[in-house]
């Protein structure tokens, strides 16, 4: 017997209230708290009681926190399969300040916020007073989307006759390294082979933002993200002899200035532009204070892109670094010449050899110096640092820094260097529109949704090529060629046991993707919230319409 829409929407509310109460903070053991929630969810349904091999928890590979991908499959007639994904981790609640204890309890949080309107902006105040929004950590990002997916799976599992197949994946770690989705790719390949599935669409339900109340947004792709490092090895000197050395801080600062929100890094797709880059980490490598300049400095540049390849990004960053070198050399020479004249001396031009190398280029140079024994030395150093990371003594960024320093320390050239490359995480940019074979489906998908919403609620949906909030949809399909993949791998010091992307498996499970989620605001803030009407009525109806239409062809 089919469940009525009212029953399904009530299910969403019940699931969401339980889901929200779990403080599954990203990149912590707290994420495992969802294990009991999913065990209860699946065991309570008769379909999964009689099909115990159609759900489970899949361990995240080589995960020190021992987290799981939770999955459920409603198998019906035929091979066509729609995959629904959402992440269950949430960011911390430090910015809730004195309201931390209410962060996961929307009714209580809203009452407390009403007593403190002075701390809210105009938009949040209006939404709180309207009663139309659900406030709380994870309401928008993204347990509302997850509750919608679970309620729909529950509905499909309750009907006797069903055409097609639906899989729901609940993923950890999206807010950190997406280790859940990267492991889930291998799970999807296993399920595909075991049940002879044909993956035809992946749906994520991340929240979307709007510029107009009656214009929703769907995204047929997801923006890429590259975490690029710049390691500057300077020439250490006493601060009283500043012109005898090279301060890496000044050079890194110049590189930051050259590249922060630099529009040269933008990708343009139709009327959409990727987000300008920004630096998320910048620090010298001094261990203690003294009157010497730092021996090195390192920074990490966050680049969000649509279709630029790893090679494209390295070429652009290398050019920016070379421009920064020229600028610093000119400034140092002008200052040095004037300083010498003021001291009654004849100035001589400063000169230093300074090269910009990719990590791969540096690795090959050191290999040529030390021969095959170097590879064993590097592997040994990497393994020691990996153990420290697993014991949580260092993080991935520090491990990356130490591996670069390992190469520079055994390199025979004492001159300053700039080394650039990639650090985890890496998200490939994907969109249905990159594939000519999917072009017709893309247009049909937007029309399918917009026709449905305009007739049902007089509300239109705008079609975007890319979801710009970064998402697990990046691993739904393979849009890079083999050469680009090799460039990424060879220029990422941490690629291997600790971090990798299963490009081969992605190629096996590749499918079109779309993000259909509720309207949300202020993600990661104390005033994070989601529109109730979207969560309990519109978004589930849209997703159900897309699933049914897709499975029926």
As beta bridge partners, residue 168 has: 72, 84
In sequence order, the 6+-apart residues with CB closer than 8 A to the CB of 273 are 266, 267
As beta bridge partners, residue 282 has: 299
Q: Hey, how many other C-beta atoms are within 10 angstroms of the C-beta on 6?
A: 8
pLDDT at 391: 87
Is the pLDDT at 472 greater than 80? The verdict is: yes
- Using the 8-state DSSP alphabet, how is residue 3 labeled? P
As beta bridge partners, residue 305 has: 224
The phi and psi torsions of 70 (rounded to 5 degrees) equal -95, 135
- Give tens-digit pLDDT for 202-242: 999 999 999 889 999 999 999 999 999 999 999 888 988 88
Q: Which of 5-19, 100-114, 395-409, 517-531 has the lowest mean pLDDT?
A: 5-19
pLDDT above 70 coverage of the chain, percent: 97
Average model confidence (pLDDT) across the chain: 93
Residue 200: name the closest of 452, 455, 444, 541 by CA.
444
pLDDT at 485: 87
Is the pLDDT at 313 greater than 50? The verdict is: yes
State the Cα torsion 548-11-141-537 to the nearest 10°: 60
Residues 88-102 have a mean pLDDT of 96
Strands (E), 172-308: 198-204, 215-219, 221-222, 224-233, 268-269, 272-273, 278-284, 296-305
pLDDT at 398: 96
Q: Kindly indicate the confidence band of residue 352, based on its pLDDT and cuts at 50, 70 and 90.
A: confident
Q: pTM of the predicted model, to two decimals?
A: 0.92
Look at strands 215-219 and 278-284 and give their pairing. unpaired
Residues 38-43 have a mean pLDDT of 97
How many Å apart are CA 299 and CA 499, to the nearest integer? 20
pLDDT at 4: 54
Domain 5-222+430-476+511-551 class, CATH top level? alpha beta
pLDDT above 90 coverage of the chain, percent: 84
CATH fold of 224-427 reads Alpha-Beta Plaits (3.30.70)
Is the pLDDT at 367 greater than 50? The verdict is: yes
Through-space distance between the first and last CA atoms of the chain, rounded to whole angstroms: 23
State the number of CA atoms in the 13 A half-sphere of 286 facing the CB: 14
- Residues of CATH 3.40.630.10 domain(s) within the chain? 5-222+430-476+511-551
Q: Kindly indicate the confidence band of residue 436, based on its pLDDT and cuts at 50, 70 and 90.
A: low
- Residues of CATH 3.30.70.360 domain(s) within the chain? 224-427
Strands (E), 485-548: 513-515, 520-521, 529-531
pLDDT at 1: 39
Residues 57-82 have a mean pLDDT of 96
Q: Kindly indicate the confidence band of residue 90, based on its pLDDT and cuts at 50, 70 and 90.
A: very high
- Give tens-digit pLDDT for 500-520: 999 999 999 999 999 999 999
Residues 116-143 have a mean pLDDT of 96
Secondary structure, 3-state, 104-161: CCHHHHHHHHHCCHHHCCHHHHHHHHHCCEEECCCHHHHHHHHHHHHHHHHHHHHCCC
pLDDT at 244: 85
Q: Kindly indicate the confidence band of residue 479, based on its pLDDT and cuts at 50, 70 and 90.
A: confident
Q: Hey, how many other C-beta atoms are within 10 angstroms of the C-beta on 495?
A: 18
């Amino acid at each position: 017997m089919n469940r009525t829409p009212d029953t399904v929407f009530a299910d969403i509310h019940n699931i969401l209230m339980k889901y929200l109460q779990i403080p599954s903070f990203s990149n912590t053991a707290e994420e495992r708290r969802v294990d009991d929630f999913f065990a209860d969810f699946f065991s309570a349904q008769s379909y999964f009681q009689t099909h115990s091999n159609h759900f489970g928890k899949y361990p995240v590979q080589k995960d020190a926190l021992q987290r799981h991908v939770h999955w459920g499959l409603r198998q019906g007639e035929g091979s066509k399969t729609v995959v629904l994904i959402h992440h269950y981790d949430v960011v911390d609640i430090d910015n809730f300040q004195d309201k931390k204890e209410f962060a996961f309890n929307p009714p209580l949080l809203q009452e407390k916020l009403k007593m403190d309107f002075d701390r809210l902006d105009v938009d949040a105040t209006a939404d709180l007073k309207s009663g139309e929004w659900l406030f709380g950590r994870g309401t928008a990002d993204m347990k509302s989307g997850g509750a919608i997916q679970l309620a729909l799976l529950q509905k499909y599992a309750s009907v006797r006759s069903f055409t097609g197949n639906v899989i729901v994946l609940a993923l950890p770690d999206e807010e950190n390294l997406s280790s859940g989705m990267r492991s889930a790719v291998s799970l999807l390949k296993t399920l595909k082979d075991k049940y002879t599935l044909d993956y035809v669409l992946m749906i994520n339900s991340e929240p979307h933002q709007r510029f107009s109340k009656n214009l929703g947004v769907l995204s047929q792709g997801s923006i890429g993200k590259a975490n690029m490092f710049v390691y500057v090895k300077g020439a250490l000197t006493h601060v009283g002899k500043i012109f005898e050395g090279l301060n890496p801080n000044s050079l890194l600062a110049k590189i930051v200035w050259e590249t922060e929100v630099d529009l040269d890094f933008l990708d343009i797709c139709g009327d959409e532009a990727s987000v300008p880059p920004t630096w998320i980490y910048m620090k010298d490598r001094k261990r203690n204070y003294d009157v010497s300049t730092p021996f090195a400095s390192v920074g990490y540049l966050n680049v969000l892109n649509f279709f630029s390849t790893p090679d494209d990004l390295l070429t652009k960053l290398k050019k920016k670094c070379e421009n920064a070198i020229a600028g610093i050399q000119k400034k140092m020479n002008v200052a040095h010449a004037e300083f010498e004249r003021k001291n009654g001396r004849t100035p001589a031009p400063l000169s230093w050899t300074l090269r910009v190398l990719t990590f791969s280029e540096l690795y090959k140079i050191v290999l040529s110096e030390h021969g095959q024994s170097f590879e064993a030395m590097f592997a040994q150093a990497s393994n020691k640092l990996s153990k420290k990371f697993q014991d949580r003594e260092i993080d991935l960024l520090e491990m990356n820094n130490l591996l670069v320093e390992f190469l520079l320390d055994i390199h025979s050239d004492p001159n300053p260097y700039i080394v650039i490359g990639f650090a985890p995480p890496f998200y490939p940019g994907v969109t249905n529109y990159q594939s000519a074979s999917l072009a017709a489906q893309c247009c049909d998908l937007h029309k399918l949704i917009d026709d449905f919403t305009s007739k049902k609620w007089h509300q239109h949906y705008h079609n975007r090529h890319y979801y710009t909030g970064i998402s697990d949809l990046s691993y739904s399909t393979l849009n890079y060629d083999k050469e680009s993949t090799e460039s990424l791998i060879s220029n990422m010091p941490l690629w291997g046991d600790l971090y990798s992307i299963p490009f081969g498996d992605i190629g096996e499970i590749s499918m079109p993707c779309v993000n259909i989620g509720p309207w949300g605001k202020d993600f990661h803030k104390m005033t994070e919230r989601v529109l109730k009407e979207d969560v309990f009525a519109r978004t589930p109806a849209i997703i159900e319409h897309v699933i049914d239409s897709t499975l029926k062809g």
